[in-house]
Structure 1
Amino acid sequence: MAINILDCPAEILQHILLFTVLNRGVKRGLRLRLVCKVFADLTKYAVYQSLLLDHFYAPDVGYLWQIKNHHGAETFWHKYLVQRVLTEKDSAVGRYVDIREVAQQICEELGSGSDLRATVQRLCWLALDGKTTFPGRPRARSSSPREPYDDSPKYDPKLSLLSAAAHFSLMDLVDRLLSEGHCPTSCGDLFPPAMQVAAMDGNANMLERFQQHLPEYEELLGFHEWRGKAGPCSVIGAALRGDMDILSLALYPPSRTTIQNKDYAGQVFGEIGTLSPVGRTLRKAQRRTNNPEMFDFIDKFFKESMSVTDLYTELIWYSRAGVISMVRYLLAKGVPVHNPLGYARPVDPPLVEACKGGHDEIVDLLLQHGADPNYGADRMWPHTALPMAASSGSLTIVRRLLDHGACVNELTENLENLPAIWYAIAIEHTQMVELLLARGANLYAGGDVETKTAGWMAESALEMALELGMDSMADILRGHGIMVTSPMTNSGYAPWKRWPMLITASNFGEWAE
């Protein structure tokens, strides 16, 4: 008699899903959410239980989460961090125990009625800022500083506690830690420096308290950086918040004797060099805001405004980050959608970066401003839009690009740039595969269409499908007569092994939420 798996008790079904995820891996495991509503509710927790996320490669997720658009990925990783912090017992695994110990100390300061889980949840948002390329595993301990302006040891529990105390507005604890000599501009590694946390939180009283504790200006020998009442942590924190009032407080502490003077940290307003310590701070802050008014305001401090080429670089960065307010602002300023220097530098253009992240609104904006979806197809570099859109898993963007003339069978001179159909197969996106085939995608690229002899692209796709157990993709390929005649597994050129980050969509949120 056949047994319906959905009739199993929830505990058994959860156990089955756990072992299925362990077998399939993170990305393919999350695909189980599409099976039915029951699976949708339980699969995410099976992925958490597997602990595979400790080793999952997801570059930039969590980094600058305050301004980046990760399409919900930061929420997914935050929940995983909370679970790991609350349950991990081994202090040698990641930094989970360290975060929990800080949370316990905060709860002691808050007194009765404090909730450990709620405290951990707040601190894990701060911990996301200290991401690695493996967001589920906070950075390991090390002896080197995290930031160039940070002169503290890599791991200092008191500095981490100071950042947490600032976040929870525990002024008495902050004063005790400051009196012990712990500097608010230094990073204890678990969280951003306390002064930056105060600015990110918009806590003006806390920010002023830290300013009182610091010298006006102090250059850090060996780091070519500085610290003082006016930054750099506070300015960067204010930029991440996008709050002009907090930025004003960060730039001009109350201790200034001449409020009318617009000079900053001893540097003449409008004459600051971009390579000076203070100039580097301002430029870093400028790239960490999603507020066009703030971006423009900071630019006025410099001796020279950004050139068109510099602004084009910013357009690439904000397109990658998915910050639509800044992309719209830069396009309105007349920043070109293609490199003004032509092919002078091997970088991906804004459209490709937006495609990688699955930022459909930004893709629309760039296309409206004349971005060519086939730009760069005749070069060894960079990547091109349609394959990167396919790798991100966005059917909407793939369709949009095709409607704007993207070449469905695009093959660049760079053999590492596989066509869109290969990536659609790699991420098991049946609808995307069907769309690309309907629009004329060629499975016989490199082979012979007349005799239906597949080239290396289709053969590698079938070999990948068979090796990874992607039965639906294998059926589609075999249905078109594709066969594996020259296996790549042992050749060292199996694309699904060489480029896992391209199979792994950067737009992780669409898979997880």
Structure 2
Amino acid sequence: MHLFDLPLELLHDILSWSIKVRGIKRGLRLRLVNRHFAREVLVTLTESKLLDLYLRPVRSGQFSPGYAVGPAYLERRVLNERSGGAPILLRVRDVAQRLCQEGSDGRDVYDYVKELCPLVWNTCQVRLDLIWETDKIDVVNEILSRSDLESDVFIAAVYTGTLPVIATWSASGKQLGQERSLVFGNATQHAARSGSHDLIAAMIDWPYEDVFHEKRAWFLAQAAEYGRAEATQFIFNFKTEQHPWVFAKKRPRPGYPFVNQQTLRRINTPSKTIYNFVSEKRSTHLPATTFGVKENTDFLIYCAGHGWEEMATYYLTLEVLVDGHGSDAGDEEQRPLLAACKYGHENVVKVLLAHGASTSQPVLETAIKYGRLEIASLLLSQGAEAGQALPEAVTKGYRTLVRALLDRDGLKDLDLEDLLTRAIDIEDEVLFQLINSHISEFPKNELRAERTLVAKTKDLEYTSF
């Protein structure tokens, strides 16, 4: 009988034991077999709660690429958590249910859970093992007590754009802008991303002068970075008669003139329209401030890391260092091309290459390390230096890239034992044979002894290699 012809319950049981025996890292690779496996492995992970034990040491948003399945895993855990189970999972579901009940756009509970889980996964300010915790109730309750259910519903409503909930909360007379949740993040951040002008105004409009200025400056920078041209202009002009902008190069008392000055000077944006608006305000309010090679290069690096093609193209027309400041060629945050490769912004990579950006190492290695296959192929076509790109490609199991690198550069100056170890470690026989086919000077009996030793050391199934 074919494996896929088995009853689902039996298939899930087999997969569960396979993952337990093989380990989570190798178990997750079963998702690569085909689409059916990808779906059923995720179901198995959820039903058996197999990821729970592997999420203890770190906070959300700090996981290796192997846990990219996290948001989908969390989504299934939220939808299927039993009554009386993990309080944080139940809070997420309760919030989704409230949004569904009070919303008016036809979204159901599943839609809201699907929308909220990536937010919780990426912004949750508690260790993820506490999200599914059912024993340390005192600790979990302390986390949830930082914001009540009503506040969490409002914060989630701002994030999801559930307008009836926002309107009800705003009409309650509460001072907006203080709502924070360890699970759902900050209402002001969500408002800056997508909130209406009225909501933003309510969050800025505090009775204290210094707080008003600091909030207006903060919202200005955030709206500009999100590319919201109308919101940026609205915020800059908000109540300027009652609270005119004041700027200072040094930090006086009160400190908001300095905050205003630094904010206007450092604003980044993906929009040329916003850039022109901000430049006009800089000329008016900061006439002595100049922007030279260093500043333009800093802006270019930021644009490259965020994928802002339009503004990256513009900065490259100014005085700028296309390869960054040059202090460390391997610093992903100081070299524009590395930043674009790391975060997968292929269009920006093309723009930088068109303007003569160097493809010296570790550019290709970085693209492969972060799984940017299209960018890696582009860099290969441009003759990028290999560096440690081949070992990285073997580790990731990228056969096409491994073949291209082997055909171009062979195995010169590379550690054969290391490559064998990496190929056997991911149990990819095709990849192993591909590397083997490029080894002409290595005796076959020594090769088999070498790969057997490596596999035994890793406690892997090596007989088929």
Fold-level similarity (TM above 0.5): yes
Question: 2:210 pairs with 215, 218, 222, which one?
Answer: 218
Uncovered stretches (5+) of structure 1, i.e. residues with no partner: 64-72, 144-152, 221-225, 378-383, 411-418, 446-456, 495-513
Q: How far apart in 1 are the matches of 2:339 and 2:416?
A: 26
Q: How far apart in 2 are the matches of 1:158 and 1:317?
A: 37
TM-score in terms of structure 2 length: 0.71
Uncovered stretches (5+) of structure 2, i.e. residues with no partner: 459-465
Question: Greater helix share, 1 or 2?
Answer: 2
1:294 paired with 2:274, answer: yes
Residue 154 of structure 1 and its aligned partner are, at CA, apart by: 6.0
Moved more, 239-248 or 96-105: 96-105
SS, match of residue 123 in structure 2: coil
CA contact under 8 A between 2:180 and 2:187: conserved in structure 1? yes
Question: 1:198 pairs with 185, 191, 207, which one?
Answer: 191
Distance 1:110 1:476, change over 3 A: closer
2:152 is matched with: 160
Distance 1:355 1:134, change over 3 A: farther
Structure 1: which amino acid aligns with 2:79? L
Alignment of structure 1 residues 403-418 onto 2, 5 Å: 403-408=381-386, 410=387
Question: 1:388 pairs with 363, 366, 373, which one?
Answer: 366
Distance 1:257 1:391, change over 3 A: closer
Q: How far apart in 2 are the matches of 1:94 and 1:358?
A: 36
Alignment of structure 1 residues 315-354 onto 2, 5 Å: 315-340=300-325, 342-343=326-327, 347-348=331-332, 349-354=335-340
Alignment of structure 1 residues 115-194 onto 2, 5 Å: 115-124=108-117, 126-127=119-120, 130=123, 159-166=151-158, 167-169=161-163, 170-171=165-166, 173-175=168-170, 178-179=173-174, 183-194=176-187
Q: How far apart in 1 are the matches of 2:352 and 2:132?
A: 36
Structure 1: which amino acid aligns with 2:273? E
1:438 paired with 2:407, answer: yes
Q: How far apart in 2 are the matches of 1:248 and 1:99?
A: 35
CA contact under 8 A between 1:373 and 1:385: conserved in structure 2? yes
Q: How far apart in 2 are the matches of 1:133 and 1:402?
A: 41
SS, match of residue 218 in structure 1: helix
Distance 1:336 1:46, change over 3 A: farther
In the alignment of these two chains, the number of paired residues is: 425
CA contact under 8 A between 1:165 and 1:171: conserved in structure 2? yes
Distance 1:425 1:112, change over 3 A: closer
CA RMSD of aligned residues (A): 4.8
CA contact under 8 A between 1:26 and 1:56: conserved in structure 2? no
Structure 1: which amino acid aligns with 2:405? L
Residue 194 of structure 1 and its aligned partner are, at CA, apart by: 2.6
Residue 426 of structure 1 and its aligned partner are, at CA, apart by: 0.4
Q: How far apart in 1 are the matches of 2:9 and 2:256?
A: 59
Distance 1:15 1:227, change over 3 A: farther
Q: How far apart in 1 are the matches of 2:118 and 2:182?
A: 14
Per-residue CA deviations over 1:38-92 (Å, capped at 9, x if unaligned) read 33554554555565666579x99979xxxxxxxxx99x65544432333345999
Q: How far apart in 2 are the matches of 1:121 and 1:322?
A: 25
1:101 paired with 2:94, answer: yes
Q: How far apart in 1 are the matches of 2:61 and 2:197?
A: 25
Q: How far apart in 2 are the matches of 1:206 and 1:477?
A: 59
Distance 1:420 1:5, change over 3 A: same
CA contact under 8 A between 2:179 and 2:186: conserved in structure 1? yes
Instruction: Tell which has more relative contact order, 1 or 2 (C-alpha 8 A, sep 6+).
Output: 1
